[in-house]
Amino acid sequence: MTSSPRILVTGGSGYIAGVLIRQLLAAGWQVHTTVRDLKREPGLRQRLGVAPGDEQLRCFAADLLADAGWAEAAAGCSHVAHLASPLPAGVARDANELIVPARDGALRALRAARDAGVQRFVMTSSVAAIAYGHGPGEHHFDESDWTRLETPGVPAYIQSKTLAERAARDWVAREGGRLEFCTVNPSVVLGPVASADYSASVVIVRSLLEGRIPALPHIGFGIVDVRDVAELHWRALTAPGMAGERFIACGGFLWLREVAAILRAELGEQARKVPTLQMPDWAVRLLARVSPTLRTVASELGTLRHQDATHARDVLGWVPRPPREAIVATARDLIALGVLKR
């Protein structure tokens, strides 16, 4: 009898990781996962619906900034899905707060994978590593594109995702041996929210529902449902011939005003605090002089980034949900969880 495949999913308490782990467990995989502190294991098991002591899921303590625990977590695994990476809710004071753990953590996971004889390593990167630093206006991006870090003002998170993916690809080329490496590069990830421990990307919808954004700046972003991101990871883990591949995960681009309109149309009274007014560009630029958050927003005004997911469809048969579904699922779950300040 063939034993079940064993996989390491790093960052098990993360937003995408939770959905992917559920899918892997349902398919019969043995799952190792990392958390920074094993005190989080009981809560993680509860969210995933895995009983204490059930060894189909094993948790290991490992930190992106330390070597301890990585070899043990990867031992016996044939696959790795590396999802652990810092994602701030605000503006980082020092870019290295994000760059160092993102880059060094990826390299630690890769070394552990290679040394354990892992066959396939799928890393969660981001469109942040593809679509930034190209200036304002309308742009079309595919997997051949890279963020231009030499452009002034590229935010720390975008730097971290770009440098981490570059470093990972360079390391695999030099030292990876027979390890098959590929990346999944999602846009803004929304969708069902299982607990109050959710991704910083969900804060966009929460801020709109709570009325924390008084008027809507003329900015937009690609959106993808968390269920579809997990599905794309699954396909990249199990399809043949993935070495060197790169897959954009995006369901479509929406302006912030369109996101707000969807919330108002779908939620009615529950979206009463969602703003309707557009903030003039001049006002955003004026306020950006005193607000680091608005300084980042000001650099995005009017920029339209088409992030083409055709490659994932053609190679892996991946078809994402419309962004509207992801937005509404996020909002309904945030309301159900009772985390909104009403």
- Residue ranges per domain, the chain? 6-337
Structure tokens at 23: 């899918």
How far apart CA 254 and CA 16 sit, in angstroms, is: 21
CA pair distance 298, 294, nearest whole angstrom: 6
Identity at 125, one-letter amino acid code: S
Average pLDDT of every residue of the chain: 93
The reported pLDDT for the residue numbered 41 is: 95
CA distance 118 to 80: 7
Burial of 277 (0-12, 13-18, 19+ CB in 10 A): exposed
Regions in the chain scoring below 70 on pLDDT: 1-2, 87-92, 197, 342
Give me the count of residues in the chain: 342
pLDDT of residue 90: 60
DSSP strands (E only) in the chain: 6-10, 30-35, 57-61, 79-82, 120-124, 138-141, 180-186, 188-190, 220-225, 246-249, 252-255, 304-307
The predicted pLDDT at position 12 comes to 93
Judge residue 88's burial from the number of C-beta atoms within 10 Å of its C-beta, 0-12 exposed, 13-18 middle, 19 or more buried.
middle
Residue 108 vs residues 70, 71, 115, 304: alpha-carbon distances, Å: 7, 9, 11, 35
- Please tell me the predicted confidence (pLDDT) of residue 1: 37
What does the pLDDT read at residue 294?
80
CATH fold group of domain 6-337: Rossmann fold (3.40.50)
* Residue 299: per-residue pLDDT: 87
Residue 83 CA to residue 45 CA, distance in Å, equals 18
The pLDDT of residue 58: 97
Question: For residue 130, how far is the Cα from the chain centroid?
Answer: 14
Q: How far apart are the first and last CA of the chain?
A: 55
Say what the pLDDT of residue 181 is. 98
Q: How far apart are CA 87 and CA 236, in angstroms?
A: 23
